Amino acid sequence: QVQLVESGGGLVQPGGSLRLSCAASGSIFSISATGWYRQAPGKQRELVADMSGTGVFYATSVKGRFTISRDNAKTTVYLQMNSLKPEDTAVYYCNYRGATEYWGQGTQVTVSS
């Protein structure tokens, strides 16, 4: 089992920045990939950024603005979000994958003036 706790969400003005964190505990040795998803009201959950053995992936909508990173032990995953836009407003979820997939509880990001 892996437990995930996100933090760092909040209200930010357009053009601002936020850094999300995801703290992991439990059987992290079983994890091979980590990522961030988001879900806006009335929309499906979508992949934002992902790190795995095959490399780093960013959704087209965030490429150049968001950066995913993690420590070597995979105990913490970050999502640095710059130049935020109102359309980035969503609940952001941390995702860890191995033989089993794990999700955090989500953290709200609201971009509004």
3-class secondary structure, 78: strand
Cβ atoms of 92 and 8 within 8 Å: the answer is: no
* Whether residue 30 has pLDDT greater than 90: no
| CB-count exposure of residue 28 (10 Å: 0-12, 13-18, 19+) | middle
Amino acid 47: pLDDT: 98
* Whether residue 5 has pLDDT greater than 90: yes
CA distance 18 to 26: 27
Amino acid 111: pLDDT: 98
Amino acid 93: pLDDT: 98
Which H or E run contains 110?
Answer: strand 107-111
| Average pLDDT of span 47-76 | 95
